Structure 1
Amino acid sequence: MTPSAAFFPPFFFLLFSMLALTPIHRFNAAALSQDQDQDNDATWLLSFKASVYSDPSNLLGSWNTSPNPCSNSSSSSSWFGVSCDPISSRVVSLNLTIPSQGRQPNGFNILSGTLSSSLAHLTHLRILSLAHHAFSGRIPPQLGSLNSLQILELQGCNLSGSIPHSLFLSLSLHFLNLSHNSLSDSIPPGFLNSTGALAVLDLSNNLLSGALSSSKSSSNGCPQSLAYLSLSNNFLVGNIPANIGTCSNLTTLLLNGNLFEGKIPSTLGRLSRLQVLDISRNNLSRNKLSGYLPERLGELEGLQHVLLAENNLTGEIPNQIGELTSLLALNLSHNDLRGYIPTNLGNAKNLEIVLLDHNSISGEVPSSLAALSNLALLDLSFNNLSGPIPPFKHAINCDSFKGNPFLHSCPDHGVSAPPTGLPFPLKVRKGQNRSKLRSFVIGISTSVSVLVSILTVIFVFILGRRKLSRLASLRRKVVVTFTGAPPGLNYDNVIRATGNFSVGNLIGSGGFGSTYKAELVPGFLVAVKRLSIGRFQGIQQFDAEIRTLGRIRHKNLVTLMGYYVGKAEMFLVYNYLPGGNLDTFIHEETCMNKEWRVIHKIAVDVANALTYLHYSCVPRIVHRDIKPSNILLDEELNAYLSDFGLARLLEVFQTHATTDVAGTFGYVAPEYATTCRVSDKADVYSFGVVLLELLSGKKSLDPSFSEYGNGFNIVAWARLLVAEGRSFELFSPELWQSGPHDDLLAMLRLASSCTVESVSVRPSTKQVLDKLNQLNA
């Protein structure tokens, strides 16, 4: 007798016994209950459909009151995106995700609406996939009560609000992807629930903030099934939880692009199956990852990618790194690592990328590194390396070694010559005449003494001349010039070229004064900003302050070429930019090139300028009046920030005590307007408003907002559209049609984070620049 035959009789005996013992009316009641459940599933799906207010391609057109979605005996359904269990005739899958290759550039096949809590009544649902639609608003916490749900995909839906804690209490959920939304607040405590079944958790590219914490009730750490964890590109702070090291099956850990601080927990060395580790770009100053690289990382035999760049890691590179035979990419750049490059790094035979640049690594370049046959990208620049460069198996870029003053010159034919600037002695051979060396040193010392004396005289002479020049400029009509000023820049030429500041040459006006176009010599144009003299006093103080601004040079800041200070008149002379200002570019219909590539480039340029003012200037400069009219363009639409530092002049040299806010209504941060307390975060808020204008083509106080009431601005309008799931309505039609939608929505999320009312939650300009650079240009 076969095994199946042996099982067959008892099974049917039991079945018939149950049927015999079951009253007829109870059997009919069960059948009736099943029909009612089917009808209920249809009701809840139609309730969800009612929450969709935009379906331009009629994706849900097949969803009707009749027939029932699960009326046939197969798993397929006549309702688009719906799948049923053929036995229970219950809805088990709702998949409306449009594959990337199937998305239309104008968003024609994108659904818009809110996530209805009615979906939580589909009690047999195993798969819920609504990715890359415009189902914005909050995630219904009731979804966490779906005991059969295994896959939840809501990425790229413009969802906002916090993540429901109930999702992490689910015992059935295997796959959770909430990436590329605008989810905020902290991640619920205990998100690494040891009793859960999660295998994939992706919360990347949101606005999540706060510190990571683990559930006190989950003493065993994270679920053993977790293989993929991504929290990258948020605003998470604090320490990396040590209990991540209990995720014994984790293969990918992505924590990059946050604000983590403290040390990398040594418990990560327990992740024996880890293949990809990325904790790079935790960029906020004062809050970087620090400490040593855990030596136990070298025990992770399957590790393929170690990406820890742009932190504040110290100590030496562990020798154990060389034992990672599976390692493909090692990026430890932009840290403060010291010591030597491990000689056994060459044991990692599969290495393709080695980036150790911008550290303080010393010693020689190990020949074992040069022997790596798969090495495709190497960067050892800006360290303290010395000695010869060994011959590499493949052609190398000499830029990979620059910034190492004691390293031999880059070899042309496998031979490395010593550097000319290496200090003496390199090596003194026996029998060498020491008196010659001493004479040489004495001669050098004497020459240096004479040279220092000459330089001192020259310095005193130049300093004296500069002081006399500045004093003379106060008595006479002398334009003080800076580096890069044209030869014809003097008072008489400025007055002549501007027509004595005639209206015909006026190209702009603002709170600090009016700006005029002037052609000093044929073919050389400058912009002259004539300051409102009544607003300033203290000529000598002004002179000292403006000289500080004259030393500032950056590729995205207008160049101050000179200035004139008199008792009755003051003006500044800048380089002229023929592309007009950003306000004209955004709001005039005749302006072309309003496409993603250009808008992204302009945003990056301005963010670069702001980051330089906030972090590289001493003392640092807060602009206080970021707006489109203060952003100038050249012929190639490169952007330049103007009027930087002038708010400081206004504050220090006004003729009377005042509490006026330097800035423009509609762009001023709420805390600055109410308290007059200035910080770099006020500039971030204004920059966020500029981003919203770039994306929408509307003004910060656009007349179209009047229907919402007085005081309604572009920030409130953007919040309203995002909350109602209509984010796509914010973008100008031509910009949204040309796309790419993912990048546009990502920039909208960034603008939203810049314009939050809470100063502590607002990102820094460094973080804003980092986020912009991550977007696809």
Structure 2
Amino acid sequence: MSMMWIVFSALLFFTIITRFSVIQTASTSPALHPDELNSLEKVATTLGIKRVNLSYEDPCSLGTLMITQQVDSVWNPEVNNTIACDCSFNNKTICHITELVLMNFTLEGKLPPQLAKLRYLQSIDLSANYLTGTIPVEWASMSHLVLISLSGNRLSGKLPTWLQNLKNLKFLGVEGNQFSGPIPHELGNLTNLERLYLSSNQFTGSLPITLAKLVNLRRFWICDNNLSGTIPAYIGNWSRLERLYLYASGLKGPIPDAVASLESLSDLRISDMTGINSFPILSSKVLQTLILRNVSLSGPIPPYIWNLPNLKRLDLSFNKLTGEVQQIHKAPRFTYLAGNMLTGNVESAFFVNSKPNIDLSYNNFSWSSTCHENSNINTYRSSNSKNNLTGLFPCAGPITCKSYHRSLHINCGGENVQVTNSSRKITYQADNKKVWAATNLHMERWGISNTGDFTDDKSDDDTFIVSTSLRLSGAEKIKHHINYPLVLGATGAFVTSTLLAFGIYAWRRRREDKITRERDLRSQSLQTVCYTWRQLKAATNNFDQANKLGEGGFGAVFKGELWDGTIIAVKQLSSKSHQGNREFVNEIGMISGLNHPNLVKLYGCCVEKNQLLLVYEYMENNSLALALHEKRSLKLDWVARRKICVGIAKGLEFLHEGSTIRMVHRDIKTSNVLLDADLNAKISDFGLARLHEEERSHISTKVAGTMGYMAPEYVLWGQLTEKVDVYSFGVVAMEIVSGQSNTKHRGSDDQVSLINWALTLQQKGDILEIVDPLLEGDFNSKEAMRMINVALVCTNSSPSLRPTMSEAVQMLEGVIEIKEVMPDPGLYGHDWSMSKLMHIDTRGRSSTSGLTDRTETTMKSSVSGFNPYQYPSSSLECP
């Protein structure tokens, strides 16, 4: 009995001590205010989130809401789960939420009134969900709000008048809902408003005169509504206006002359409107898009239209324009003139123009009898010819053209396919070219003419519809003993059926593959995006070398822009991995589920056309290596350096201890730390080391890293723990302080590395001499000493003497004392200098170069050693 009591007492004592330690640690780290944590739980419930974990880790430190329920997301990378906080309160121990973003989560609840209890909230983005109801009146008290985005939901009712209370509001987006009634005149009191999106609702009445006070407005979208009245002249007051969208708004013309005074206007779009008749006077030198579609314009196109210097897209289709088109050589890249009564000679006026993508269909031009191959000028029904045959297809008449104009041998959506029958070989021509805005495309055996994509179609995918019938008039009828119509009909039916079946099979195969990949991702309850090859090809301009950000051992990285303006970085991986596509997708699915402010966000992937592609968020300021070592492209003051160092530490802390998938990065170095526009540090390539371990035969699956950053126990014995990353972090922290590279030779063999030099200076009592001289003494010496000492204790040769990353974070922030840095002659002395380590043959993992007789250590980094923004580093990667 006494023994049981002793055991029970010991367990009780241990529990009390553990709880006390946890409370002590929690009390020293900033945390979300308890009232806001409670409100956040109620917010999640009202939104329809059934399973949310707020107890695992503080939402402010995590930077996201831990949602564990399955969420079916759409393809685009705007899937976003973000919580931003201000932790400067109560001596930096209390945090308040300032931003809440839950986009594309298919939430089916209502707008939560409890958000009003988040008194410091400045930004609410709940767009692209299925939320219903109205905007709660409780939000009227949220005076700090700067942004409200509720677009793409099922909200209804009238737009509340109390919105005028939100004096700081700069962004109001409610498009794509079911709001009705008049637009409240109280909106005119939001004089700080810069973006007002009201499109695709059921608003009625005229635009209130009070909107004239919105002098800071930059974007105004009012499309697809049931408004009445005319376009107000007061839009001339919006001197900063950049984009004005009036598609099918219900308003009537004319376009007021005040538009001419809008010097910042870059995008004007008006369609489906009466009362305009004549062209507006436009003088903006920055105008890039002009759309006046189906607005009853008549007469000739005025010459000044062709002289707008930056115009890239012009759509004047479906009007009553007449006369010849002058100065066509100045036409914008995308020009739509379909559905008018324009005249002139097609050959002389248009085909000499080198600009692509011009749609001339359904006009009264005069035809020239020449076939124009592979042009992007659409001339379908553009002639006033009365001949049915040549009017339908000019090249199908007696004009000398190739056989492709009459061939049905097409492999829809695929590559060339050759089929051999008893008499001959038949090649089914590939159908794999990009179809642009207007197309007159002639392949070897077939051609296509189209009127172009819809101007506002944001999808990068084109849909091909296979016709099952072909009607040509003018065929001569001749009687023979053989029933030719029956034979031709049967043959045509067979060929058409075969092609249709083949096309359907190919389409279904591609669709099934895509559905399988997306199902694999959704099964993990994550918001991973499965991109198509066509989308990424369009985003990177066919992987143009001008968009290339860098080249690594496993492929290149390209900058891209998606249809919605989102900038991305697309990383090409080798497609020769021994892993199957499903394993690759599953691995990516797990990695993309890791969300932290100090990790580069992985949006998704593409597994298609024998390609393995990763899509990341784009980092504006490239890598830390470039900032520190390559011509000092960025000037990093001390405040920025300390923020970067702490950010790296917090990112690693999350990978080691905070994420549901614990992982070791294995290749932490300055080129794998990227910087965003605000110089926030984000770790790249985490979790990818396993993706290509078997990619190339000379890569060791045991050791992956970069010499100069790898811990000694990892180099010598292949021992892999979280302490390997701790060591690498220590090296990076020292580089941040000094501005020097750890692998840069400093003279004597004993001081070959930055860490050697730091230890030597420490022994001399001159440790601050290591601080980057470019700071010119403008730094906090106490903070510098702390960072240096943390770097030294992290690079101790003994893993057991190194701190964990959570301890390193607390040391950097001054929460706990730094462990004493023990002298370490065993590693840093003469016998174990860096130059000696570089010649170690680790357990026979060596390869002989074909160029020399030298045996090289094969500790090549895998994908994790690849910097998406390649830095021509002097750092020595193991060959």
TM bucket, shorter chain: 0.3 to 0.5
Q: TM-score, normalised by structure 1?
A: 0.39
Q: What TM-score comes out, normalization by structure 2 length?
A: 0.36
